[in-house]
Structure 1
Amino acid sequence: MLAGLGLGAAESEFYRRFLTRPVSTAEGVGASLGLSAQEACVVAERLLSLGLLAGSPAGELRAVHPVLACHPLLERAERRLARQQKELELGRAAVDELAAEFGMETASSLTEAEVHRGAAAAWSFLERIAATASASVQCMAAAGAAPGVGETSDYTAIGELAAFAARRGVHVQLLLLESIDILPSLVDGAHTMAAAGVEIRTVPTLPVWVFIVDDEYVVTALDPADNQAGIMVARTQGAVAAAADLFIRHWRGAAPLAAPDHETPRDLMQKHRDLIALLADEVKDEAIARRLGVSPSTARRRIKDLCREFEVSTRTQLVVRACRMGLLD
């Protein structure tokens, strides 16, 4: 009740009980709260030191009127808040100064094209995008993890960057693969980003991880098959225009991210388990299509998407990987 004034829950309730009694003892009030005599004495001494109670810890005590007793505490809290606000403003100014210095150093070394090799360098650049993008970020999230991210089945890291940029007022548009629904963690990560303001659509296929930042430069994975290899940055008008055109064409044909209550991750996971189980039983594509109620071409596309998402090249490898992940009984 009075936590903002520095009182704990027990101290607040102790004082409130005294307010309902003209005069009482620490031991008596403490007993009503389930406190031992020693614990009650400690709380009473604390309230006496703050001016909320008057009297003696070992004798009778009375509550001082809240307006009189809490006024000094309010003033103290306001002074503390003012100091914290000043420290916050100084901290923000220091961050802005560091960012400006970093930006000047970065700007002085800009080239039309540059390569950042290795996972650490790639992730550092993605952090820079989240921190410095001023207007827009368009991203195509291809199969596998983002450049510099080690875990392929978790959007937490990249999602935090996207959400951070969105909260800064940057218009973030993200294209994801339809096959994200093979794992609940991917679906949950996508909806977390959407809740933070990231605009998300899904498509069947994407060629490579691409980021278009403020219509000024393009970032792509250095090696589509190895997200640990690094990234390439291009700042030429031609590269930006080509990447933007590719993104727009995919975006126009993409479907909005389904609402969480349309189909639960558990339901989606079961569908893919069923499909992988059919592959494990060496069922033909036509029979799989009939079992799933789709066309053979759609069944083959779903299998291909699963192989891409699980980062395998054959159906046998897909079944083996699913078994290792515990997706099959």
Structure 2
Amino acid sequence: MSSEPVDEGKLAAVGVAALDEQLYRQLLTAPGSTLAELTSGTGIGATRARQAISRLERCGLVSRRPGVPARFIPAPPDVAVGSLIARRQDELERARLEAESLLADFHQGTRYEHTSQVVELITGQSTISQRAAQLMSGAEQEVVLFDKPPYVGAKDNPDEMDALARGVRWRAIYSTESLTEPGQLARMTAFRDAGEQARLSPVVPTKLVIVDRRLALLPLGVDGADVAQTAVLVHPSSLLSLLVTHFDGMWERSIPFDQHLNGGKPPAKSEQRVLQLLSAGLKDEAIARQLGISLRTTRRWIAHVMADRGVTTRFQLGLVVARELTS
């Protein structure tokens, strides 16, 4: 009699093979069974069953009673599986420490070998995306970035949400042209609400992400297909220091995204968004797309904002808004 293939078990993460888990589960419902009783009708061969039981004994999931034939007793799952989890956590921690040691050796051995150890060329959209995800998921203290179109793939960033949940500081400078992308304002607001610090600038030079001030990833090309297909990973060097300094300078000169207007009664939520987009230099059509409203409604709201501040031209309104945002 043959048996169906056994899928990977739920205890595989702690090193328990699927067959071993199957026998352990049977023992939980029939403690004191012999090996023959456990495998009866399953099609599992005697040799494989003995090997599985031996592995279960070694990892502490099963013990045997004296006598012939041997009868087996399952260990309580909370104790036995908990012990396996703790053991695996210890192994992972040792592996992490070993990786840090290996990285130190790598840096020491390649420090002066070649410029490619300072600037690493990465090609292919999927490879670049994978490396960016690795950098952000491995962030320990801070991620800073420039954000600008064109966008490739999904615009939502689950890696950012995970990093913010871990307590990683996240600062982003968005190009004002990115606000012309449908739904971008809503995404920026969601990131802000999750803890991101965001600013706007009309002169974002390129996409850029810097992680923990020790690695930077940016496209090699300025525009066209190269932006998505070729990138460079910058390791600790004077070039990396220059990129960090440039970001810090841009941050100081950029407009806070969530800056609330000072003085008087706070504006309604819709009015705040209109002011943010106007201060970023967007035209009426782009504002309408961002807010998901008609062009007619957008212009009516803008007229209301102008009347509320006693101005008659968009130029005058820009001066008033700029003064309020910086006061």
TM-score, normalised by the number of residues in structure 1: 0.49
TM-score, normalised by the number of residues in structure 2: 0.49
